[in-house]
Chain A
Amino acid sequence: MTRTRPAAILGGVLLVLLAAALSARACPVCDTGTGRAVRAGVFGADFGRNLLVTALPFPIFLGITALLYYGPPSVRRRGGDDTERKT
């Protein structure tokens, strides 16, 4: 057990150093100068636009998937296409 103690101490020291590092206190919910700057950058005037453009491809993906599932309107009117066949 005593052989592992230096490693455990070193691990503890590293953990404290990491927790105290600048990046660890820069999170958007951290109450620090950097954290506040990150929050201001994320939830600034461009928030809505950034959210819209980040999300934009995803409704298109769902639309393509729906098209594959139900088929294009012309095929649906006909009632099937090459992906449906008699076996």
Chain B
Amino acid sequence: MSAPQANFRPLVAAGTLLGIGLGGFVDGIVLHQILQVHNMLSAKYPPDTLVNVEINMVWDGLFHAFTWLMTVIGLAMLWRAGQKPEVPWSTRTLIGSLVMGWGVFNLVEGVIDHHILHLHHVIERLGASAADWLFLGVGGVLFLLVGRAIIASGSRDTPASHPSPGTAPGPGGRY
């Protein structure tokens, strides 16, 4: 009986979408809500009046709703990946995919919202600034490359590590 062919794609795709969603939540929670350095449409509606703050809050909410949707779809994909015996249940692949997804979020959101459409900038009171490029370089490109490197480090993991039905857990109950 031949060994199943390892397929990392479902796990990488699920982890990346989860990373995109969780990265979006980091952006929204840390930059929009806690630090309040920008909001979704803060370049268009400067949050210097109560009405503009409330308008931005609505669009921030919509952004969070879409981000939540990405997270839920990513979770569903992860669940399905867990049911496929050919998918190696690799922690390194999942962690790498999460980091890569966070990088994808920062890169795409940064290019579209900060640089092309100018919906907002990382530090709104500075307008277009070095912070936008730092966000793109470190949060986007660097995270993407680090994530990809972590995924590559798990490329030797095999489907034998998969907790498919009938597979007994290893020492300490770990697969």
A interface residues, Cβ below 8 angstroms from B: 22-23, 26-28, 34, 37-38, 41-42, 46, 50-51, 53-58, 60-62, 64-66, 68-71, 82-87
Chain A residues whose C-beta falls within 8 Å of the C-beta of B41 in the assembled complex:
50, 54
B17 and chain A: residue at smallest CB distance? A65
Of the candidates B51, B58, B104, B159, the one whose C-beta lies within 8 Å of that of A87 is B159
Q: List the 10 closest pairs (A to B, CB-CB), nearest first.
A: A69-B13, A68-B13, A41-B55, A83-B8, A38-B54, A87-B158, A65-B17, A37-B51, A58-B66, A87-B6
In the assembled complex, B109 has its CB within 8 A of some CB on chain A: yes
Interfacial chain A residues near B62, Cβ < 8 Å: 51, 54-55
A34→B44 CA distance, assembly (Å): 19
Distance in angstroms from B164 CB to nearest chain A CB is 14
Residues of A within 8 A of B3 (CB): 86-87
| Complexed CA–CA distance, A53 and B43 (Å) | 13
Q: Per DSSP, are chain B's interface residues mostly helix, strand or loop, or mixed?
A: helix
Q: How far is the CB of A22 from chain B (nearest CB, A)?
A: 7
Chain A residues, Cβ within 8 Å of B160: 87
A61→B20 contact, CB < 8 A: yes
Interface residue tally for chain B (C-beta within 8 Å)? 44
Partner pick for A84 among B5, B20, B45, B108, CB 8 A cutoff: B5
Is A26 a contact partner of B17 (Cβ separation < 8 A)?
no
For the complex, give the distance between the alpha carbons of A79 and B143 in Å: 29
Which residues of B have CB within 8 Å of A64? Answer: 16, 104, 108
B40 and A27 contact, CB distance less than 8 A: no
Interface check B4, CB cutoff 8 A = yes
Let me know if B108 and A60 touch, CB within 8 A.
Answer: yes
B117 at the interface (CB under 8 A from A): yes
**B 69-80 binary contact with A (CB < 8 Å = 1; else 0):** 110011001000
